[in-house]
Amino acid sequence: MTALATTTTSHAQSSTFAGMAGTWSGPGTVTLDDGSSERIRCRSTYKVIGASMEMALTCASDAYRFNLQAAVVSAGGEVSGTWSETSRNIGGTIQGRGAGGSFQVIAQAAGFAANISLKTTGNKQQIALRADSVFRAANISLSK
């Protein structure tokens, strides 16, 4: 079992999603359509297997919550896959570019589009989401 775990870990570390596997948590802010802003606490889990990654990100404040899930695959610097936001029952596609823990993608669904920037450096991660809907933006700082 240990040999298998070691092999999987080293293969994951050499992938596009190197260094992302595991559980992350930290603070952030969300900006709503009316311009109001809420402090949020976030927790994210990444499962990396070769050129694929599954992500579950939950962020909440006293008055606001979102649960984002995504499954993406990387090939030749391109990232594509699907996403869903379970508390609002919305989902769609993700497309963009990324390598070495740094990604620029667009998440789309009917009537919704968001630009997402994610950068991982060591045990720190920055996530910035920008949208043109009731949910305008989120800035999140996570660490392992």
pLDDT digits (tens, 9 = 90+) for 39-54: 999 999 999 998 999 9
Q: What is the pLDDT of residue 13?
A: 42
pLDDT digits (tens, 9 = 90+) for 65-106: 889 999 999 999 999 999 999 888 899 999 999 988 899 999
Whole-model pTM?
Answer: 0.84
Q: What is the pLDDT of residue 108?
A: 94
Residues 6+ apart with CB under 8 A from 60: 40, 41, 42, 66
Distance of alpha carbon 110 from alpha carbon 140, whole angstroms: 25
Asked if residue 60 has pLDDT above 70, the reply is yes
Residues 6+ apart with CB under 8 A from 25: 41, 42, 43, 44, 142, 143
